[in-house]
Structure 1
Amino acid sequence: MSDQNIKNLVILGGGTAGWMTASLMAKVLGKSINITLVESDKIGTVGVGEATIPPIINFNQALGLNEREFLKATKGTIKLGIQFENWLRQGESYMHAFGSIGKNFPFCDFHHFWRRSRASGQDSSLWDYSLNYQAAINNKFAHLAQIKGTNLPGISYAYHFDAGLYAQYLRSYSESKGIKRIEGTVKSVQVRPQDGFVETLILEDGQSIAGDLFVDCTGLAALLIEKTLGVDFEGWSHWLPCDRAMAVPSAGSKPIVPYTRSIAHAAGWQWRIPLQHRTGNGMVYSSKHWSDDEAREVLMGNLDGEALAEPRVIPFRTGRRTRQWDRNVVSIGLSSGFLEPLESTSIHLIQSAATRLIKSFPHQGIKAEEVAEFNRQSQVEIERIRDFIILHYKLNERRDSAFWRECESMSIPETLENKIELFRRTGKVFRDYDDLFTEVAWQQVMIGQGVFPEDHHTIADNLSEEQLSDLMNSLRTLVDGTVKSLPGHEQFLAGLS
C-alpha cells in the first residue's frame, strides 16, 4: 500500500479516545516517532463513559500511573460489577460481578456444582459464592489478590471516574512525555490524488499539519474515516434498538456504592454511576418508543440527588465501521463504531484499539496484509461484545411495553442463539477466541436473565451428597467471612486524601 516510513503520527481529536491513544503511543513509541495531537476546545466531547471494566487497570499500569493519584485526579471510585434491575422482570435484579465465582475446577466450571446442589435441595443463589458480589452489596472494598489462607482468587475491580478529568489527566501525562498538542479546528483535509492517503490537515488559522499515519478520534463526526475516506458504517439497530442517550449529573448520595446500576424502564434503561463528587446518570432509549420529553421525565424522576445541569441528548447509531483502518487512517473511539454503554465497553474498545495499533504499527510503510489483520481482529472483538449486549435485551420476560416485547421476539445472530441454547440444555458455555467476556460473565447474565440449565456436567457427580454440601457450605462461609473483614468502600476512598 505504501513504502513510506512512518515517522509522524497525527491524532485528530482529544477527549478520552484521543488522550488514551496519545498516552499509550507516547509511552511505548515516543522515542521512535513524532506524535502530534490536534484538538479544539470549541468542540465538545460525548464524555459520558464514566464506567470501566477490569482491563483498565492494565492500561494504567502500562503507563506507570499511581492509582491513588489517578483516583484523586479523576474523582474516581471502585467498581466491582454492574447491577441489572428490572431486566428480566420488574422488581427483580442480578449482578454481572467481576472476578470468579466459587472455586475453579479443571474441565468443569463451578456453576455445575451449584446447579447440582440446587437439584439436591440446597436453596442458594449463584451469587452467594461471588466474593465481588457480596463485597459490592455490602459496600466493601480492599485490594485483595487472594482470599487469606486459600488459593482462591480475591477481588477483581475496575473504576468509575469523571471521563473529562481522565482526559485532562492523560493530557498532562502525554505532554510530559513529549506529545505536541495543537489547538485548532480542521478546515480541510488534503489527500494524495493517486491513492487517497491523507497527507495534511489544514486548520482554520492556516496551519498545515502533515503526517504519515493519522488516528481519527473525532467521535461521531468521523471526520477522516467517513467524511474524508468514505468508509461505510454497518448498522445494528435491528438487534440493538436504542438510538438515543440523555445524560445529566446529579449531586452525590450516600453510601457511595462500589458498583454501577443499570435500571430498565419501559423503553430503555438508566445508568447510575457514583463518583466521589457527584453521580453520573443517563437514559439510553428507543426514539421509536419514547420521545425526548418522555425519556427526560423518567430520567429526572429517578435521580437520587439534585440535578446539577440540564440533561443533554446524544443521538447515536449502533454498529461498526466496515474498516477500522483504511489507507493511512485508523479510527479509534466513536469514529470506529458505537455500542451502547450497557456493559461499559466504550473505554475498553479505545484501549484495545490503541494496543492493537501498537502491536501492528507499520515500520517501513503500511502493508495491506497488516491492515487486513488489524481489521479482522477489530471486527471479531466488537461483534463478540455486540452479541453479549444483545443477550440482555433478548432474554427478558417483560410484557409491560411494546419495546420489551419486540426485544424478546427479535431474531438474533445464529452464533448467539447457539450459545444460549447450549447453555440452556447442558449448562456449558465456551469462550470464543478473543472474546472479551469470560465464561463466568456469560453464566451470570444468562442465569440472571432466566436461563437455568437443564443439566450439569458429569464431573459434578464425582462428589457425594455430603461432600457437595460441605463444599458449598465451606465456600459460602469463606466468602461471608472474607467480606465481613473488609473495610468499607468509603473508608477506602477517604484514605486517598
Structure 2
Amino acid sequence: MKMGQSAVRHVTIVGGGTAGWMAAAVLARSLPPGRVTITVVESSAIGTVGVGEATIPPILRLNALLGVDEDELVRRTQATYKLGIEFRDWRAQGHTYFHPFGTLGADLNGVDFHHYWLRTRQGELADYSLPAQAAHAGRFARPADDPRNVLSRMAYALHFDATLYAALLRDIAVQHGAVHVDGRIVDVALRDDDGFVESLRLEDGRAIGGDLFIDCSGFRGLLIEQALSTGYEDWSHWLPMNRALAIGTRTHQAPRPFTRATAQDGGWIWRIPLQRRVGNGHVYCSDFISDEAAHDTLIGQLDGEALGEARPLRFVTGRRKQAWNRNVVALGLASGFIEPLESTSIHLVQQGVTTLLSLFPADRIDPVEVAQYNRLVRRDFETVRDFVILHYKQTHRRDTPFWRHVAAMEVPESLRDRMALFAANGRLMIEPGELFTQTSWAAVMLGQGLIPRGYDPQADLVPAPELEAQLGRMRGLIARGWTPCPRTSISSGTRAAWRFQPE
C-alpha cells in the first residue's frame, strides 16, 4: 500500500474531551502558523467518559509547552496537588505503603539509593522521600530553584476536574486557530485506491475532509476500528478488571495531597480529592464480584454525601494493534485502555500527542515514520501494563478468589524478568524512554513485599558508620523541611510550604 499520496495540510480530530482537545491544543500551538488546518468534530449530544482525574508529573511539562499558567489552571479546574499514591490493603490486609513522586534519598557514589536502604534497613523507605513526608503531613510546596534547598527535590502532579481541563485545552486550541465543528458523525468514507479515510459525513449532511485523522472517539474507535478494522490486543488475562463505577461526594475536610487506592475483595476503590468534591470509584472484575455487590461496596465506603448516582463503565484492558493505521492515529480510549491504578490514562494521551508531534509528516505520510510511531506507542503501553500488573501479581493476599487468581497468574516475560532481577539483588534496569523510574519500581516492589535476597555490592563501599550518619542526616533534613508552614490560599503561587485549605 502506498502511503500519503497527498501532503498533510488538514488534520481532522474526531471527538473532543481531554484527548481530542489536548491533540488540538498541542498541534495548533506547536506547528508553524498556516501550515496545517486543524478541525475538531465533536457532538455536544455525546457525553465524555471520566474514570478519574488524577495525573502524574509529566502533565506539568505539557502545561508548560502549552503556556498554561498553573495558578490559573488550579482555579479553573478545581485542582489540588498530588504527591503520590497511597496503597491500602494491597500487599496484605491492614498494610499501607506510599508510591511517591520524585527520587528517594540522595545520590551516593552513583548507586541507586534503595540499595543503601536494603543494606541498613534504617527507617522506612518513605522516610527518604520528600513528597511522601509532605503528603503524610498534608502539606505541599512547589520545588525550590536552589539545589541546596531540600524543597528542590519536590515533585508533584495534579488532581483536577477532567471536563474543566478539557475546556481549558479547547480554549487554547481555538485561540491558536483550531476550528470546532459540533455534529454527529453518521458515516465514514474511505478512498478506493488505498483505503485511507477520505471524509466524515455528519447527521446534517455536511462532509468533513482531512489528510490526517485523529480518532478520539472513545472505546468504540469510530475510525481506527469501525472503519479500518485495526484489531485489538486483549490483555484481560493479565489485567482482568473489566468494570468501574464512579461517583462524586461533597468535600467535608481539607483535601489531602495524594490519591488513595484501597484494595477490595474483587478490585479496588479510588479516592481523588478536588477543591469542592471528591472523586470516588470502584474498579472491579465481574468474574469475581457482581455489579450489585460492587455498587454496595463503593457506596458503603463513601465518606461524604453522594453527588448523584454512580456511573457505570465497561472496558477491556488492552491496546489497538496499531495506534497509527493508514491516515488515522488513535488517542485516548480509542487507542486502548489500562485501568487507572497508576493514573496513566491522561499521560498516555499526552505521550501519544507529543510523539505524533515529533513524527508529524513533513509532507506526505511516510510508512517508516508510521512504523516508528507504532513501536514507541507499543513500548509506552507495555511498560505501563507491566507496572500495573505488578501490583496484582506481587501480593501476599490469598483471602478471596480474586486475589488467589492474580497471585497465581502468569505474567508477561518482560515483567517476570524484571521481578526476578530485583528479587536477586535489588537491581532495576530502566530503559531509555520508560515512564516509571527506579523510585517508582522500588517503591511498589518493596511496598508489595518483593524483598531482594541481596543488594548491589557497591553499596558496601561506604563505611557503615559514615553511611548510617548520612542516612540519619537525610531523614532529619526531610523531616525538618516542613517545620515552617505559613497558611496560604490554595490558588497562591508561593513557594512556601502550605496546608491545604478548601475554598
TM-score range, shorter chain: over 0.9
Q: Note closer, same or farther for the CA distance 1:487–1:389 as it changes in structure 2 (3 Å cut).
A: farther
Corresponding residue for 2:18?
16
| Counterpart check, 1:183 vs 2:191 | no
Following the alignment from structure 2 to structure 1, what is the Cα–Cα distance between the partners of residues 491 and 352? Answer: 34
Q: Note closer, same or farther for the CA distance 1:368–1:149 as it changes in structure 2 (3 Å cut).
A: closer
Contact 1:257/1:274 (8 A) holds in 2: yes
Q: Which moved more, 1:416-425 or 1:79-88?
A: 416-425
1:465-484 alignment runs, 5 A limit: 465-484=464-483
> Deviation at 1:349?
0.5
Give the TM-score taking structure 2 as reference length: 0.95
> Deviation at 1:113?
1.1
One-letter amino acid of the structure 2 residue matched with residue 2 of structure 1: G
1:389-428 alignment runs, 5 A limit: 389-428=388-427
Corresponding residue for 1:495?
492
1:312-391 alignment runs, 5 A limit: 312-391=311-390
Corresponding residue for 2:239?
240
1:133-212 alignment runs, 5 A limit: 133-145=132-144, 149=148, 153-212=152-211
Corresponding residue for 2:274?
275
1:122-141 alignment runs, 5 A limit: 122=122, 124-141=123-140
> Deviation at 1:297?
0.2
Give secondary structure in 2 for the equivalent of 1:382. Answer: helix
Following the alignment from structure 1 to structure 2, what is the Cα–Cα distance between the partners of residues 171 and 144? Answer: 29
| Counterpart check, 1:80 vs 2:79 | no
Give the TM-score taking structure 1 as reference length: 0.96
Contact 1:142/1:487 (8 A) holds in 2: no
Measured against aligned partners, the alpha-carbon deviations of 1:35-56 in whole angstroms (never above 9, x if no partner) come to: 0000001111112230000000
Give secondary structure in 2 for the equivalent of 1:219. Answer: coil
1:60-139 alignment runs, 5 A limit: 60-118=63-121, 122=122, 124-139=123-138
Corresponding residue for 1:213?
212
Give secondary structure in 1 for the equivalent of 2:165. Answer: helix
Give secondary structure in 2 for the equivalent of 1:227. Answer: helix
Corresponding residue for 2:7?
5
Measured against aligned partners, the alpha-carbon deviations of 1:110-149 in whole angstroms (never above 9, x if no partner) come to: 111111112xxx4x11111110100001011111236774
| Counterpart check, 1:253 vs 2:255 | no
Contact 2:75/2:491 (8 A) holds in 1: no
One-letter amino acid of the structure 1 residue matched with residue 52 of structure 2: G
Following the alignment from structure 1 to structure 2, what is the Cα–Cα distance between the partners of residues 293 and 487? Answer: 46
Give secondary structure in 2 for the equivalent of 1:45. Answer: coil
Contact 2:201/2:207 (8 A) holds in 1: yes
Give secondary structure in 2 for the equivalent of 1:247. Answer: strand
Q: Which moved more, 1:21-30 or 1:243-252?
A: 21-30
Following the alignment from structure 2 to structure 1, what is the Cα–Cα distance between the partners of residues 364 and 195? Answer: 15
Following the alignment from structure 1 to structure 2, what is the Cα–Cα distance between the partners of residues 455 and 2? Answer: 54
Following the alignment from structure 1 to structure 2, what is the Cα–Cα distance between the partners of residues 274 and 219? Answer: 25
Following the alignment from structure 2 to structure 1, what is the Cα–Cα distance between the partners of residues 241 and 326? Answer: 32
Following the alignment from structure 1 to structure 2, what is the Cα–Cα distance between the partners of residues 487 and 382? Answer: 41
Give secondary structure in 1 for the equivalent of 2:308. Answer: coil
Following the alignment from structure 1 to structure 2, what is the Cα–Cα distance between the partners of residues 379 and 494? Answer: 38
> Deviation at 1:282?
0.5
Give secondary structure in 2 for the equivalent of 1:225. Answer: helix
Instruction: Structure 2 unaligned segments of length 5 or more: list them.
Output: 494-502
Corresponding residue for 2:223?
224
> Deviation at 1:150?
5.1
Contact 2:11/2:37 (8 A) holds in 1: yes
Q: Note closer, same or farther for the CA distance 1:265–1:67 as it changes in structure 2 (3 Å cut).
A: same
Contact 2:142/2:151 (8 A) holds in 1: no
Q: What's the C-alpha RMSD, in Å, of the aligned pairs?
A: 1.4
